[in-house]
Structure 1
């Protein structure tokens, strides 16, 4: 473990890594069929992720923790039904689902993430990854995108059997960073605001959600539109604290 006294913990999927390859896979495999039903592939993908996050969270808080990937997979045909497809299992096949899920291994880094990490590390911060995904798959995203993230700096909800944003999911890292500077960075306002409520300083990037909805989640310590600028603001805030 690094002896650094300054830390930034990053959410990964949806924050550091974009969902775009999943949206593209839905379009490639089902796009024409979906558009014939007046369903936008990206909107289906978004609602699929959102529904999976809800069910993942509900399973966790009811004491039946299930891997996010398995929840996402299990909701495929239900999402088609909810989108207005009368016979989902005639409209799509398990092969379609397998094709889309295969792309889960190919997520690409959002613009500026590598630069963001470098700015923070140059200023003496240790960067961490805290994910609802499994560690091997998520670390693979960083490796394939040429971004260094040591395996010892990963924490997965799978190892805790507690899903974010339960307050206790953030506590192991906070305890590890006791009396040290600790930031949590995410492109999901629900995530960074929960981490802030648990005790982290909060840094939010609008790259995914665009609208922060501060009337719901509150204002974070730092709110920026790009990862490099978010990193610069964290460094500046650290120098003045």
Structure 2
């Protein structure tokens, strides 16, 4: 089946990177964490990954909660799981408030703006589909000067079904296929679990290794496009469309 000129992007982790948040953890708790033998970056990664798991678990069990709510609620549990025996003595509510406020400051990943522009210049319509809230995620684009029309920015919060539940992808997939004579849209992400689920749901899949490095195709299956950079991924989507 041929593909349409629509590309749906995951946002946080793909076009937006986590480094600013991890740096905020380091600024606020770094010395305390290192005294306990804990790397701030690794704690941040553990926190993010655990939040994604619990967000998904709540969604598939019919108890959806917004991702940011889940992420914030897990803070003290993550400290405990990281080896801090008395998390609420180790870190204050003000520490958590600071880190959460900095969460809104995440930055566009290098190459992300070029990737989006390449696709638009080639005639593609770019969509954004996030597990985050629209205000926060829309702010990332606005701060970076990357135009993202409000009507093209979508959140799992709207339907209360989280990725990678196949039902999360289906409404947008059905809409874009109906509007484009049954042609498959693309889904692009730096999370292999995300793009592989979207591909299972019916999208064409484009994966960038910039976040995870290892595609692990033995677990997640093949992709239509894989590249190590976001602009390179865009080039391959464009070339695939032309072939």
Aligned partners of 1:185 and 1:67: how far apart in 2? 22
Partner of 1:163: 162
- What is the TM-score with the length of structure 2 in the denominator? 0.96
| Residue of structure 2 aligned with 1:212, choices 212, 215, 240 | 215
Where 2:94 maps in the other structure, the secondary structure is: helix
What is residue 222 of structure 1 aligned with on the other side? 225
CA deviation digits over 1:162-182, x for unaligned, max 9? Answer: 000000100011111111340
> How large is the RMSD of aligned CA atoms in angstroms?
0.8
Alignment of 1:100-115 (within 5 A): 100-115=99-114
CA distance in 2, matches of 1:93, 1:212: 38
Please name the residue that 1:61 is paired with: 60
8 Å Cα contact 2:184-2:202 kept in structure 1? no
Equivalent pairs counted in the alignment come to 236
Correspondences of 1:23-42 after superposition (within 5 Å): 23-42=22-41
Q: Distance in 1 between matches of 2:19 and 2:129?
A: 21
Structure 1 segments, 4+ long, off by >4 Å, are: none
CA distance in structure 1 between the partners assigned to 2:5 and 2:122 by the alignment: 9
Are 1:154 and 2:143 matched, yes or no?
no
Matched, 1:185 2:188: yes
- Structure 2 unaligned segments of length 5 or more: list them: none
Query: Does residue 23 of structure 2 align to residue 20 of structure 1?
Result: no
